[in-house]
A and B are shown apart, each in its own frame.
Chain A
Amino acid sequence: KNEVEQSPQNLTAQEGEFITINCSYSVGISALHWLQQHPGGGIVSLFMLSSGKKKHGRLIATINIQEKHSSLHITASHPRDSAVYICAVRSGGGGADGLTFGKGTHLIIQP
């Protein structure tokens, strides 16, 4: 079973700062997801990666398959970025198996 570790668990930063959240996993994967969950809200999928790098607005996600590591970056952070960010991996193929989740990073951006 894949073990997914996220760091940091909690992060408080000032508006405008560059944010990095890290995710490491123990077993080779077919895909890695970065998810966002606002307080009391459902989960939104931000990125799905199997290699390289993806960018969407101020969010950038990278993955290094050899090192079994991924990072989520937020540039020019804003209070509305405050949320829990969750890394999740899928080890098998085909989509039928569920994801294995990290415990999440609780991000607070102060104005």
Chain B
Amino acid sequence: DVKVTQSSRYLVKRTGEKVFLECVQDMDHENMFWYRQDPGLGLRLIYFSYDVKMKEKGDIPEGYSVSREKKERFSLILESASTNQTSMYLCASSRTYGYTFGSGTRLTVV
């Protein structure tokens, strides 16, 4: 069964910490995505990557960066976590049209 795996289900971090959210897919997909989901706002695209070492900004990239050193792994980095980054973070991957989502990481910044 194909999978997108996010390393943590729940995470609590302090304001100002550097936070890494990891996502791994086993489907050899070229495209990977990071979304955040907030009540009333739905899912919004933070960053995506269409190849190793390639990245593109999504709709809300401010305060985030990403890294894709290997095809199967796409990391989201919060350089200095802030309370307004408390959210559910979802990773997804795709090849052409089909998308597979991870289970999500609920991040709380205190």
Contact = CB atoms under 8 A, between A and B. Distances in A.
Interface of A: 30-31, 33, 35, 40-45, 48, 50, 86, 88, 90, 94-99, 101-104
A42 B99 contact: no
Interface in B53-110: 56, 58, 90, 92, 94-104, 106
A33 B42 contact: no
Contacts of B33: 98
B88 to A, nearest CB: 9
B41 A103 contact: yes
A97 B96 CA distance: 10
B35 to A, nearest CB: 7
A97 B50 CA distance: 9
A98 B49 CA distance: 10
Contact of A104 (B35, B42, B96, B101): B42
B43 interface: yes
Nearest to A31: B97
In the complex, which of the residues A40, A44, A96 has the most CB atoms of chain B within 10 Å of its own CB atom? A96
Contacts of A33: 99
Contact of A43 (B48, B56, B101): B101
Contacts of B94: 95
B26 interface: no
Interface of A is mostly: loop
Contacts of B41: 103
B87 to A, nearest CB: 14
Contacts of B30: 95-96
B98 to A, nearest CB: 6
B103 A42 contact: yes
A96 B50 CA distance: 6
B50 A42 contact: no
Contacts of A44: 101
A42 B58 contact: no
25 contacts: A30-B97, A33-B99, A40-B106, A41-B103, A41-B104, A42-B104, A43-B90, A43-B92, A43-B101, A43-B104, A45-B98, A45-B100, A48-B97, A48-B98, A48-B99, A88-B43, A90-B97, A94-B96, A95-B30, A95-B94, A96-B30, A96-B31, A97-B48, A101-B42, A101-B43
